[in-house]
A and B are shown apart, each in its own frame.
Chain A
């Protein structure tokens, strides 16, 4: 079974600050995929980042970066120079190499960027 933990429930920053969201995952699989999604107030889950565990491949949509550490099972996500429009709930998610590849989500981090 997989598990994703996002310990930060809420974060507030002032516009233009950098902000890092934490994610810790658990899986017994050696082949897995990690994701970050954004959920603005409209409700739709928007894809941001995918990172493979087994190679250097990644996919990214936007001005974001990540820190992937296998040794600590962490996949942290950073927004550089945050903007008010970045205010949303951010979800970390994991899927493994099984045929279904359904996502296991963390509980989400509410980010508020203040003007």
Chain B
């Protein structure tokens, strides 16, 4: 079946602009995660969704970052007033939740964000 998809693949924006990144999880996966990969910080957790709820937003670096998920499927990560330090690869992952043995997260190809 189809894997996790993300769009756009690449995004170049100017400092101060808002950007939206999209994630389509694997069908039937109720848990969805956003991570960020940057040169200085490695792979960092941003936010977790279970269904449409986000019980863990502890990784969001500032209030300029927000995310939502609708219909228990597609998620959008929004970065407002982008800064150069937001430049990174944003990765989305999903997994089946609530079943024993279904702990593996499957990742999308990522969105490479460059803030000029």
Contacts and interface: CB of A to CB of B under 8 A. Distances in A.
Interface of A: 33, 35, 37, 42-47, 50, 52, 57, 59, 91, 93, 95, 99-108
Contact of B43 (A46, A52, A57, A91): A91
Given A43-B112, A91-B43, A101 B31 contact: yes
B57 to A, nearest CB: 10
Interface in B46-87: 48, 50, 55-56, 59
A59 B104 contact: yes
Contacts of A37: 107
A102 B108 CA distance: 16
Given A43-B109, A44-B107, 6 more contacts: A35-B104, A44-B108, A47-B104, A91-B43, A95-B103, A103-B93
18 contacts: A42-B109, A43-B109, A45-B91, A47-B106, A47-B107, A59-B104, A91-B43, A93-B43, A99-B56, A101-B48, A102-B45, A102-B59, A103-B45, A103-B105, A105-B42, A105-B43, A107-B42, A108-B43
Interface string B83-102: 00000010101010000010
Interface of B: 31, 33, 35, 42-43, 45, 48, 50, 55-56, 59, 89, 91, 93, 95, 101, 103-110, 112
A102 B110 contact: no
B33 A102 contact: yes
A103 B93 CA distance: 10
A105 to B, nearest CB: 4
Contact of A100 (B56, B89, B110): B56
